[in-house]
Amino acid sequence: MFNSFLDGSKPSIESTAVSNATGLGVPSNGLLYPPASVEDIPYVTRPISEGGVLERKGMVEVISSLETDGRQIPYDIRMGVWVTVEAETDYIKNCFEEYNAHTDPSGRYFTLYKRWHLIGLEVGVSVASVALRNEPTGVATDWNADVVATAKRDLKPGELLDGEGGYTVWGKLLPASTSKKMGCLPLGLAHGVKLVRPVAKGQSLSWDDVEMDTTTHAYKIRREMETGYNF
The domain segmentation of the chain, as residue ranges, is 24-133, 145-228
Q: Quote the pTM value.
A: 0.91
Give the pLDDT score at 158: 97
- With CA atoms as reference, report the closest residue to 101 among 86, 117, 81, 121: 86
Residue 83 contacts residue 111 (beta carbons within 8 Å): yes
Class for the domain spanning 145-228:
alpha beta
**Which residues of the chain are modeled with pLDDT < 50?**
none
List the beta strands (DSSP E) in 48-197: 81-86, 109-114, 145-151, 160-162, 169-175, 191-195
Give the pLDDT score at 81: 94
Give the pLDDT score at 138: 85
In one-letter notation, the amino acid at residue 185 is: L
Give the pLDDT score at 197: 97
How many C-beta atoms lie closer than 10 Å to residue 55's C-beta?
Answer: 16
Give the pLDDT score at 2: 81
Q: Cα(42)–Cα(228) distance, rounded to whole angstroms?
A: 37
